[in-house]
Amino acid sequence: MLPKKMLFPVGGGDELEARIYGALLVSEYFNTHLEVQVAEANVHTGVPKGMVLPNEIIDRLENIQLENLKTVMSTHRKIFDSCCKKLDIVDSEDPLNDQATAHLTMGVGLRSTMVAQQTKFCDMVIAAAPQKGVATATFEAAVLESGKPVMVIPRAMKEFKTDKIIIGWNNSPEVSRAVSEAIPLMKQAKEIHIVSTKAYTTENLSRIKDLRNYLAIHGIDTTFELIKTTFVPGEALLKTAKDGGFDLIVAGAYSKKGLKELMLGGSSRYLLEHTTIPALVSH
C-alpha cells in the first residue's frame, strides 16, 4: 500500500533526534502526512486502585506534571522543527496535496493504550526498533494492536529507500498479509528476493512457486534462496539482507508469545537489536 497518513509514536530516551529524523525520512519517501505522537503518563496512572490521595497532593502532582509536559514538548518541538527543516517537510496539522507534511501532537495517559488506539486511524505505523531489542509495551501495542502494517525502522537511519526488497517467507498468514501490503513498493523496486528455510519448505516447496507466481501476476519478478539458520534466531535473515545490500525486509509479526517471534519464526530480539535495515511487518 502507499499510505496517505502515517503515525509515529515516540517517547524520550536515547537517539530521540535520530528516531524522529528516521520517521520523517519515511514520510518524505512516501510524500505523505506523518503524525508524530508524544505520549506522557497521567499522574493518576501510577496511583494504586483504591488509594485516595489528599487534594493538596493531587494538585501538587498535577502542577509537576504540567511543568514536565511543557519541558518534554519543548524538547520534542525543537528536534521536530530542526528535522523538518533539514528534510524540507512542511509542519501542518492537515495533509497537503503532493507535499510531505508532519505534525507534532501530545497526549496524556498510559502510552501503550494511547498508541493502541491512535494507530487504528492511519494507513501505516512507524515504530523505532526498541533499545537492545527488548520489546516495550508501547512497541508491542504499535505492532500487535494497530491492525495496520508497521514500518520498523532502526534507531538511527540516514536514508530510506526500497530499491531492493527481501521477503522472509515462512508460509504464515502474517507474512502473506505483509507481502500483499508491500506489493505497491515491490512494483517500483529493482530487485525482489525471497528467502526461506527448510523448516518452512521441506514439506511443500510448491508454496514458494505459488508465491512467485502470485507476485508475477502483479508484474513483479522475484528470485529465491533457501538459507541456513543459525543457533541465533533472526541472524540468518539479517545477515542475508545485509550481505545482499537490501533496503527493506518484508515479514510477518507473531503474537503467540507477545512480540517474541518475528521474521522466520524465531526470536525478534537479535534482529531488532542489530538491524540497520527497515522492516515492513504485519500482524
Note the pLDDT tens digit of each residue in 174-231.
889 999 999 999 999 999 999 988 766 655 577 899 999 999 999 999 999 998 877 7
Mean predicted confidence (pLDDT) in 66-72: 73
Q: How confident is the model at residue 64 (pLDDT cuts 50, 70, 90)?
A: low
CA distances, 55 to each of 47, 132, 194 (Å): 14, 41, 61
CB 271 within 8 A of CB 265: no
Name the nearest CA neighbour of 43 among 93, 100, 87, 109.
109
Cα angle, residue 168 at apex, residues 23 and 157 outer, rounded to 5°: 25
pLDDT in tens, 159-179: 999 999 999 888 888 889 999
User: Which of 4-18, 139-153, 212-226 is the most confident on average?
Assistant: 212-226
**For residue 255, how far is the Cα from the chain centroid?**
15
Mean predicted confidence (pLDDT) in 114-125: 90
Instruction: Please give the model's pTM, rounded to 2 decimal places.
Output: 0.86
